[in-house]
Amino acid sequence: MSGPATDYFTNSEGVNLEHGMKVVMARNSHHHGPEDGPVYMQIADKPTLIQVTDLNNNPTVIDLAAEGISNAQLPPGATIVKAEALIENEVQAPVNPLKRLQESIVFSALFGFSALHATVEPCHPKTRVEVQSIIMSWATNPYSKRFLWLSGPAASGKTAISMSIAEALSKQHLLGAGYFCSPHIRSSNLIPALAHQLIQDPRLGPLRHELLGSLEKNPNAVTDGIEVQFEKFFLDPLRRISEGYRNPEWRRLVLVIDGIDECPPEVSAGFHVPSIQKMVVNAFYAATEDPAFPFRVLMSGRPVVPVQSYLAKAGEGKALDIFLDEKFHPEADIEFYIRTKCAELLANFPEYPRDWPGEEKILTLVRKASGLFAYAVLAMWFITHGKRLPTAQLDCILGLPDVTTEEKPFAALDALYAKILSGEDGDAVLPAMWVAVIASEPLQSLPAQFVDRFLEPEGLGAVRIYPGLASLLRIPKSEDKTIPYKLYHQTVKDYLDDPNRCDPSFYTTPTQRKEYLLQRYLFVLKDHEARQGLWTNDQERDQFLDSFASTVPHFETWISELSSDKVYFKPEDYLACDVDWFMRVLFERLKGGAEAEATQAIYDNVHRDCQGLCTPACRHWRSAITRARREYSYEAPGNDCNCCTAL
């Protein structure tokens, strides 16, 4: 019996076709059988039957006979459809542009969201008054320059100032959007997040209409590079809005963007961090010169050379540049902050003298701070929350070395970090390695719950009781399953990364950190069953495996880089791994080609040591890769490997 092309999926009534489902059609087909039982497909003369079942619901395709149809026992009434080829089409459901935009955003970087405000505080009341006054005057003067660059040394209080300004603008309904950059949030999040916050403002209805219409036509714009995103999310929609629909209020709105020096590089773009920073500054500065772009921009960051050089040329006379140096009298603000915190502390210790800790000690703390607000905040936290009484904690800080010079401007801050990392009793209960790796890729953007379990037995469970830890980083509550750890201040990472600043007992090289994480990676591959007790339900297990799979490309790249022979693990380590389990994790949890790239990298690493014939370790991994290829219909790597052809 022969006939036209048969579509066993879409010709059936009541079939529920969802977004992403595969629709399979048989072309140039003929079939035989009573058609009152299950239907099987055979492509040309390939020795495989595919069963198409349950046509009136969500159809499935099941591989019945990988060894050929002669061994297959078909039930009565079975129909076999033979076709020259199968054509697969993926069902594309209508895209909700707002939902697509929301799914692409990390909201914890946006002003107004609790996850941000839990780690970023505004200036202490009555501090940084002068610089805030200058910025607010700029924001409210209709004739002022439309771009403001706020810069200053590390730990000078830029982020606190930005948060204070964002709060003040929000109260006056002048904040268009606020974004606070972080090393663990990709740079490509910046533009979509700002756009999303902007279109929540009812005054920007025309922009919302144009932007969402554009996203409906180009849903992948959320993954474009920064410069392309800027055109698609801001300039193109704004240029399509005629003058009659523009609200004069738009020109009063300010975009606050803090910490662009913390924007991580986009790996696929191939730029170094300074290039990404310059790209962001260039996009927003150029936009303020475009008549279609109505918003003012306040941007802050450390004074990195590419940005400073760009603004010195392009922004000369057109941008307001504020540098946080001595002219803003940071010592006076720091002294006021310390006095205020000491007064608050006295309320809990009525037995202390009313003038505690005394003029001399307060001024010594101010001198040690050397204009760095980060030091003042950390010192007062140490005094207030330490294991000992505040008097003992204060004396401990005052006794730390503090020879601050032009060559070592962070000496006092570094000494305080060293004290915290060594434990209040000097017992080093907080491993500096642990702090360093959670603040670096690939762990810095992953949930704290995963990090704890991945680093077992050296996860946070070993150090959570240490009180000094909370002064360095945000520790999510145990019920917050998706929140990552986050350093309160980038200067912690600066300290740990710089061998000239970091205490030798705490400093670790990038290679040492990679080797440490690779050992944890190997531990999971060898002993994943031992981790079954770490989660209480399937959801927790799935969350762990999703995060674990995302780390594989990083680790396999490191393995290929770390030794001259390109083989990091020993053969006995590779042989001890449960590769079948590992392959299932990769193929079920990595998508969009990432699973193919990771598998190829894995195969390259285990195969590089083979000379003539493959090693037992290589054959062990190759066999598992081949089985996974058959199960998931994926072309296995290594097809040109003569020594593996027998597999």
End-of-domain residue from the set 57, 90, 123: 90
Residue 2 inside a domain? The answer is no
Q: Please check whether residue 5 lies inside any domain of the structure.
A: no
Cβ atoms of 637 and 647 closer than 8 Å: no
- Measure the CA–CA gap between 166 and 254, rounded to whole angstroms: 9
Q: 415: part of which helix (H) or strand (E)?
A: helix 411-422
pLDDT higher than threshold 60 for residue 485:
yes
Residue 112 vs residues 82, 163, 180, 489: alpha-carbon distances, Å = 60, 10, 11, 20
Both 322 and 340 in one domain: the answer is no
* Phi and psi at residue 177, to the nearest 5°: -165, 155
Q: What value does the mean pLDDT of the chain take?
A: 80
Lowest mean pLDDT among 66-70, 111-115, 572-576, 616-620: 66-70
Lowest mean pLDDT among 97-111, 231-245, 276-290, 401-415: 401-415
Question: For residues 316 and 119, what is the distance between their CA atoms, to the nearest angstrom?
Answer: 35
The reply to whether 111 falls in a domain is yes
Strand partners, 147: 297
Same domain, yes or no, for 484 and 576?
A: no
Are residues 640 and 556 located together in one domain of the fold? Answer: yes
Claim to verify: residue 205 and residue 69 sit in the same structural domain: no
| Amino acid identity at 591 | K
Q: Of 67, 90, 113, which closes a domain?
A: 90
* Distance separating alpha carbons of residues 320 and 309, to the nearest angstrom: 15
**3-class secondary structure, 142:** coil
Secondary structure class of 444 (helix, strand, coil): coil
d(CA 123, CA 336): 12
Same domain for 522 and 461?
Answer: no
pTM over 0.85: no
Tell which wins on pLDDT, 61 or 180: 180
Q: Where are the alpha helices (DSSP H) in 426-502?
A: 432-438, 448-454, 490-497
Residues 6+ away with beta carbon under 8 Å from 117: none
Same domain (yes/no): 549, 596: yes
Question: Is 137 in the same domain as 258?
Answer: yes
Supply the range of the domain harboring residue 348: 329-386
Confidence bin at 48 (pLDDT 50/70/90): low
User: Which of 630 and 413 is assigned the larger pLDDT?
Assistant: 413
Q: How many CA atoms lie within 13 A of 208 on its CB side?
A: 11
Q: Is residue 463 in some structural domain?
A: yes
Asked whether residue 380 falls in the same domain as residue 262, the answer is: no
Alpha helices in 354-431 (DSSP H): 359-369, 373-385, 390-398, 411-422
630, 645: one domain: yes
SS3 83: strand
The predicted model gives 57-71 an average pLDDT of: 40
For residues 383 and 221, give the distance between their C-alpha atoms in angstroms, rounded to a whole number. Answer: 49
Strand partners, 177: 255
The answer to whether residues 238 and 107 belong to one domain is yes
Angle formed at CA 207 by CA 202 and CA 213, multiple of 5 degrees: 120
Residue-level pLDDT at 420: 86
Task: Residue 542: name the closest of 482, 484, 597 by CA.
Answer: 482
Task: Give the pair of three-digit tokens for residue 36.
Answer: 């009152």
Give domain status of residue 258, yes or no: yes
Contacts of 394 (CB under 8 A, 6+ apart): 357, 361, 383
Comparing C-alpha atoms, which of 195, 187, 159 is closest to residue 299?
A: 159
DSSP output for 89-105: EE--PPP-HHHHHHHT-
* Distance in angstroms (rounded) separating the CA atoms of residues 113 and 116: 6
Same domain, 544 and 626: yes
- pLDDT surpassing 60 at residue 49: no
In which residue are the tokens 């929609």 written?
237
Question: Is the backbone of residue 33 left (phi > 0), alpha (psi -120 to 50) or beta?
Answer: left
Greater confidence (527 vs 384) lies with 384
Counted domains in the chain: 5
Query: Is the N-terminal amide bond of 457 cis, ω within 30° of 0?
Result: yes
